[in-house]
Structure 1
Amino acid sequence: MIRGKERFITQLYMATDFVFIQISFFVAWYFRFVINKEQQGSYLPLTDYFIWNIVYSVAFLAIGFLIGLYVPKRKMKFAQEISKIVQVQIYSMFVLLSVLFIAKTIDISRMFIVIYLLAGFLIIVTYRFLVKFFLRAMRKKGFNQQFVLILGAGSIGKRYIENLENHPEYGLSVIGFLDDFKKINSKQKILGRIEELPTILENKIIDEVVIALPLNVFSKYHQIILACEKAGVRVSIVPDFYDILPATPHFERFGDLPVINVRDIPLDEYVNRVLKRIFDIVFAFCAIIFISPMLLLIAIGVKLTSPGPILFKQERVGLNRRTFYMYKFRSMKHMAVEASNTQWTVENDPRRTKFGTFLRKTSLDEFPQFFNVLKGDMSIVGPRPERPYFVDQFKEDIPKYMIKHHVRPGITGWAQVCGLRGDTSIVERIEHDIQYIENWTLLFDIRIIFKTIINGFVNKNAY
């Protein structure tokens, strides 16, 4: 049984990561130097490389421990775990490069480092996925369970039970409820009153107590927490106001005070913002080079099929509600700015040109937005930006509409790859945008990009 041995499992993860980093070192050495006979004798000895490998390994474990890679992962999504592995690799490589710089070592093979990092990433992610898959499969069958006692059998407690039933892979088993307003009932698992908590903690195996009580009994929280801590049992609180909170509220500290941040946005973290920005710049730069012949052909097509400028720029609302000018290939007849900013495009819109209709249907008119990405106004992936005129309308009708402006707008987004493009529900789009904002990872961005490519650029709702 693994239950109760989480600390040992954490230490085992650290030891296993260290072993697999050593394996990735020898894999990189073999592919870079052993099979490449032309390089033999022209590189530093194995011992020098291995010393730098130890520096990287120690940095990996230390940084992983600091950013939470080695905390219990029973309820953690695997995408979050992968994101942490990527962060640890980046930080650890910076540490290694800094040490190499200080030691004035310049003869390290760059190809070796690339292979070393990729091999380490693939090996660690693969074994962690297999371990997580195995543990979740075992938990679904009833093994490796943790036992939970719920305080409060009302609507909040029932909601918690529903979530557990939807996630059997977490391996959480409810032994019962304590409630002051319901009689002991074996069918409903009512074990007694809340005042009996110390006795039950002493007589039953309980790993976690979940407080699911309404705020009008808040005065009991202090004694409940003291009783749990005295028994060495973890405590979780499901707040009575969860209906008005988003899916992922976040605790912060303001001096000595704990503060609930109503919405946890991963891109508020500096490291995540930098990582996403680097990805955006590299992707946009490569995309512009790759599609440059197509950009030239489209520009010629726009110029030959209708009078007016090749590019169309329009004011949109972006990050932190700041406006910017978004670029497109012009797909409509030249018109006054006020008209284009306040009129919604409709089916068979007479303002479109024939070539412009083709551009809009295939989304080729969006290609100039890669330059918006390089400027920093937009991201490759994010909520689609809207015109100020319509933003002022939507924010009055859709309470959560303005949340989309907490991140940079994107060329493509989660709502768009889920079919919510053009003439579709604004409310559903915002729900998908918020889901993206609250669950962002670099892998999520890559997944959306692949879905955009696989689904194709043709949009039946684009007018």
Structure 2
Amino acid sequence: MIRQNQKALNLILVLTDAALCFSAMPLAYLIRFLGQRGYGYQVPLSFYLRMMLAAVPVYLLLYRAFDLYASFRRKRIINEAGKVIQANFCGLLLLFVLSYLSKEVHSSRSVLLLFAVINTIFSLALRVTLRKILRVMRKAGRNLKHFLVVGWNENSANFCRRAISNKALGCYIDGYFHDGGPQRFEEAVPCLGSLAEFENYLADHPVDEVVISLDYEDYPRLQHLLEICEKEGVTSSLLPFFDKYIPARLYVEDFEGMPLINLRRIPLDSFMNSLCKRCFDICGSLGLLLVLSPLMLAVALLVKLTSPGPVFYRQERVGLNRRPFLMYKFRSMKAEQNGADKTAWSTREDDRRTAFGSWMRKYSVDELPQLWNVLRGDMSLVGPRPEIPYFVEKFKEEVPLYMLKHLVRPGITGLAQIRGWRGDTSIVERIRCDIDYIEHWTFLLDIKILLLTLTRGVVNRSE
């Protein structure tokens, strides 16, 4: 069944990862020193291969720690790619440590960096290839995972509908059990009997997983149904009736022997994730400040020449953990604001704008000083856009889940911006994008948003 297939696939994946990881080092060595005499200043390839004998097992443990050997039947490739990049970043740090401890002063850091890039590419290519192979097999009716559904309601019907429509998942619904008998359903999923008949059926028919979807009044029967699954050695999953109140990812921790469900555990709560993101923010903002400094100097001069007043505009915004901070922008309005900027958004027809300010806003040039906020730690390159305190107090009463955006650092750009929700647009849609970003953050998602910002998010079409 699927369980045995998954074990075999995991073994193949581990062995292939080990082989690719080991072979990536000589390839990196050859690329670095091809055509040069005295490879690596007399440091032979054998030095790096000995290093890999110690590093490969650690790499495999890192991959396991980042959940890269769990079934990816239901995992998104972008999430897995982000974990591969993070695992290889940690592995690169390990190689630098090993190189330092070896006291080989002529070892090449370029070789180690090339190895990290090559191994990341190898790992991603392997997983993409496996997904494509398995997708073809599943569409052909092979490597299917057989499900039984216990309980019939709107949630279980949606589960069946999605499992059937996406053949690449390889899910086959054998049928469902329901006390009310067969229900009207547009897909070919048979009713196999009442809940009382579930135990006898499970004992005689092998399945891979049982999905339990009970209404509130049936929850007293949950313990008995779980005991039946455990007795037959079948994996069980719960499709709760309160799914509207839980996030896409649940985190369960042990509290003195009791399971405690954290409804808002997010990827950036992880120390390693937050460290990677912060290091990227520091390097990215510092690099962009250096590269864009001529442009920023020219913009500053034009702001000063085209209207009286200061070059920079400072405004209080609400950031991480609802802490206020001063956000910097190039001034795009007349200096006399009379406090209007604290309680109103600027629109395209706003007569407070200067001519040059309108151009800056259209092309998001006025946002460039926020790179300083990123360097200081007030903001991130990517995240929910920060709001002024007046609107935070207003929206937290009007928009569901609005305050969750303050669980992470605000960003210069974000998921809402590349999807077109910026400026004077729906705040509800923006919050949906923000929560989607917070709950599904990966390092690769940040890279994707930054790249798409160059094509979708720079020009403000609402201006």
Q: CA deviation at 1:458?
A: 2.2
- 1:174: Cα distance to partner? 0.5
Aligned in 2, Cα 1:166/1:246: closer, same or farther, shift over 3 Å?
A: farther
Instruction: Please list the CA deviations of residues 354-410 of structure 1 after superposition, one character each: whole Å capped at 9, or x if unmatched.
Output: 111111111111110000000000111111111101111111110211111111111
Tell me the equivalent position of 1:268. 269
Displacement after TM superposition at 1:170 (Å)? 1.2
Q: Which residue of 2 aligns with 1:283?
A: 284
Map residues 353-372 of structure 1 onto 2, 5 A cutoff: 353-372=354-373
Which residue number corresponds to residue 303 of structure 2? 302
SS at match of 1:38: coil
Q: How high is the TM-score relative to the length of structure 2?
A: 0.95
1:431 pairs with 2:432: yes
Contact 1:317 1:388 survives alignment (8 Å) = yes
The aligned length equals 461
Distance 1:218 1:244, change over 3 A: same
Output the CA distance in 2 between the equivalents of 1:250 and 1:267. Answer: 13
Aligned to 1:118: 117
Which residue is 1:324 aligned to? Answer: 325
Q: In structure 2, what is the equivalent of residue 20 of structure 1? A: 20
Measured after TM superposition, the shift of residue 337 of structure 1 is 6.1
Higher mean C-alpha displacement, 407-416 vs 135-144: 135-144
Distance 1:82 1:160, change over 3 A: same
1:431 deviates by 0.9
Work out whether residues 41 and 106 of structure 2, in 8 Å CA contact, stay in contact via their aligned partners in 1. no
Q: What is the Cα-based RMSD across aligned positions, in Å? A: 2.0
Alignment partners' CA distance in 2, 1:457 and 1:183: 54
Q: Which TM-score applies when normalising by structure 1?
A: 0.95
Q: 1:55 & 1:139 partners in 2: Cα distance?
A: 38
Distance 1:62 1:439, change over 3 A: same
Check the 8 A contact 2:79/2:444 in 1, yes or no.
Answer: no
User: 1-side partners of 2:240 and 2:456: how far apart?
Assistant: 41
Q: State the AA in 2 paired with 1:161.
A: C
Task: Please name the residue that 1:43 is paired with.
Answer: 42
Matches within 5 A, 1:68-217: 68-182=67-181, 189-217=190-218
Classify 1:183/1:379 alpha carbon distance in 2 versus 1 (closer, same or farther; 3 Å).
Answer: closer
Q: Distance in 1 between matches of 2:182 and 2:349?
A: 66
Q: CA deviation at 1:51?
A: 0.8
Deviation of residue 181 (structure 1)? 2.6
Greater RCO, 1 or 2 (C-alpha within 8 Å, sep 6+):
2
1:405 partner amino acid: H
Which residue is 1:376 aligned to?
377
Of 336-345 and 363-372, the range deviating more from structure 2 = 336-345
Name the SS for the 1:236 alignment partner.
strand
Question: Which residue identity is paired with 1:121?
Answer: T
What letter matches 1:69 in structure 2? L
Q: Which residue number corresponds to residue 461 of structure 2?
A: 460
Measured against aligned partners, the alpha-carbon deviations of 1:166-215 in whole angstroms (never above 9, x if no partner) come to 43211110001112232699965111122323321222120001111123
Task: Judge which range, 133-142 or 360-369, deviates more.
Answer: 133-142
Q: CA deviation at 1:344?
A: 2.2
Secondary structure in 2 aligned to 1:248?
coil
Following TM superposition, by how much is the alpha carbon of 1:424 offset from its aligned partner in structure 2, in angstroms? 0.9
* Unmatched segments (≥5 aa) in structure 1: none
**Unpaired segments of 5 or more residues in structure 2?**
none
Between the aligned partners of 1:333 and 1:228, the Cα distance in structure 2 is 69
Q: Percent identity?
A: 39
Q: State whether residues 342 and 390 of structure 1, in contact with CA within 8 Å, keep that contact through their aligned partners in structure 2.
A: yes
